C-alpha cells in the first residue's frame, strides 16, 4: 500500500517501532480488535494509535474493516516472512561462525600437528606486515588474494604439479593485531588451521610461532606427511627471514 508520499511502506520500517510491534502481538492472539480496545493498552490517544495502525496498514501487516461506525483490525502475518527469511540467513551465518570458532578452540586445546619457532631481528610491526600484506606474502609463501579481515576467503596459488593443483583455499578466522592471526588451510582434501603468533623478546628480537592443527588421522598415519609439512613451513619461515632482512 502507498503512504502519503506515494511510496510503499517498508515492512522493516513498520515493525521498527515498539508500539507497532506491541499492536502486532496483540492482534496475534485474537481474530480482530476495534480501535478503542487497542488504544486502552497505550498511554496515548486514539489519534496517535490510529497513525501507528495506518503505518502497519501501509506495510500490509494489518487489515481494517468497518463495522458500523467502528473500525476493526486484524493481523496479516504474510509480509513478516520477509523478516523471517532475512533473520534466518544471518542465523545461519552466525551458526557457521560459531561452529568454526568452537572448532578453532578445540584445536587450540590440542597439541599442534606442526609447531615451529622462528627468530627475527625485525620489529613486530614489520613481521606483522609480512604476515598480513598480500604482496609480502607472495614473496615468501605464494601468490594470493589475502585481506586481513575476519571472514575473508582467499587462496594461495602455487605452481601446480602432476599430483597437486597448487591451490590452497583459506578463510581468516581470527585477527589480534599485531599478536596473532589464524586462518584455515584447505588443500588436497585436507582442511587444517594455521596460527601465527608474534612475541617481542627482551632483547627486542621477535619470536614468530607457527602452529598447524587439524590433520586427519589418516594423514598423520601416512609416513612422511607431517614431516613434509614441517619441512615446507621451515623453508617458508627461512624465506621470510630473507625477505625481512
The domain spanning residue 70 has which CATH number?
A: 1.10.10.10
Give a yes or no: residue 1 inside a domain: no
Do 69 and 152 lie in a common domain? no
Distance CA 217, CA 222 (A): 9
- What is the average per-residue pLDDT within 233-238? 96
DSSP secondary structure letters along 84-136? HHHHHHHHHHHHHHHHHHHHHHHHHHSPPSEEEEEEESS-HHHHHHHHH-HHH
117 and 40 within one domain: no
**Domain carrying residue 217:** 109-244
CATH code for position 210? 3.30.530.20
pLDDT at 18 over 90: no
User: Has residue 99 got a pLDDT over 90?
Assistant: no
Q: What is d(CA 30, CA 18) in angstroms, rounded to the nearest whole number?
A: 19
Strands ordered across the beta sheet of 190-200: 114-120, 206-213, 190-200, 180-187, 167-176, 153-157, 143-144
The residue with greater pLDDT, 72 or 14, is 72
66 and 177 in a single domain? The answer is no
Of 148, 150, 132, 149, residue with least CA distance to 140: 132
pLDDT at 92 over 80: no
In a domain, 88, yes or no: no
Residue 53 falls inside a structural domain: yes
Residue 191 belongs to some domain of the structure: yes
pLDDT grade, residue 2 (50/70/90)? very low
**Do 63 and 119 reside in the same domain of the chain?**
no
Q: 180-191 burial, b for 16+ CB within 10 Å, e for fewer?
A: bbbbbbbbeeeb
- The mean pLDDT value for 101-116 works out to 73
Task: Give domain status of residue 100, yes or no.
Answer: no
pTM, rounded to two decimals: 0.57
Same domain, 45 and 117: no
Q: Indicate whether 69 belongs to any domain.
A: yes
Binned at pLDDT 50, 70 and 90, residue 62 comes out as: confident
The count of domains in the chain is: 2
Q: Span 55-72, mean pLDDT?
A: 87
| Residue-level pLDDT at 59 | 86
The domain boundary residue, chosen from 81, 96, 125: 81
Mean residue pLDDT of the chain comes to: 87
Question: Is the per-residue pLDDT at 152 higher than 80?
Answer: yes
Same domain, 142 and 48: no
Amino acid at each position: 500500500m502507498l503512504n502519503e508520499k506515494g511510496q510503499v511502506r517498508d515492512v522493516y520500517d513498520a515493525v521498527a517501532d515498539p508500539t507497532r510491534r506491541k499492536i502486532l502481538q496483540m492482534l496475534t492472539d485474537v481474530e480482530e480488535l476495534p480501535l478503542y480496545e487497542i488504544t486502552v493498552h497505550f498511554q496515548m490517544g486514539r489519534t496517535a494509535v490510529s497513525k501507528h495502525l495506518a503505518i502497519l496498514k501501509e506495510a500490509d501487516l494489518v487489515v481494517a474493516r468497518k463495522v458500523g461506525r467502528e473500525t476493526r483490525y486484524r493481523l496479516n502475518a504474510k509480509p513478516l516472512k520477509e523478516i523471517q527469511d532475512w533473520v534466518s540467513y544471518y542465523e545461519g551465518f552466525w551458526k557457521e561462525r560459531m561452529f568454526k570458532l568452537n572448532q578453532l578452540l578445540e584445536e587450540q586445546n590440542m597439541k599442534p600437528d606442526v609447531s615451529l619457532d622462528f627468530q627475527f631481528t625485525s620489529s613486530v610491526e614489520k613481521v606483522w606486515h609480512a604476515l598480513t600484506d598480500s604482496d609480502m606474502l607472495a614473496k615468501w609463501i605464494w601468490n594470493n588474494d589475502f585481506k586481513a579481515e575476519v571472514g575473508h576467503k582467499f587462496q594461495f596459488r602455487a605452481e601446480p604439479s602432476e599430483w597437486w593443483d597448487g591451490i590452497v583455499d583459506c578463510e581468516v578466522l581470527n585477527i589480534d593485531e599485531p599478536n596473532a592471526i589464524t586462518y584455515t588451510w584447505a588443500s588436497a582434501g585436507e582442511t587444517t588451521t594455521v596460527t601465527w603468533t608474534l612475541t617481542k623478546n627482551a632483547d627486542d628480537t621477535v619470536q614468530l610461532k607457527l602452529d598447524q592443527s587439524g590433520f586427519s588421522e589418516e594423514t598423520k598415519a601416512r609416513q612422511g606427511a607431517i614431516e613434509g609439512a614441517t619441512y615446507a613451513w621451515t623453508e617458508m619461515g627461512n624465506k621470510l627471514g630473507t625477505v625481512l632482512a
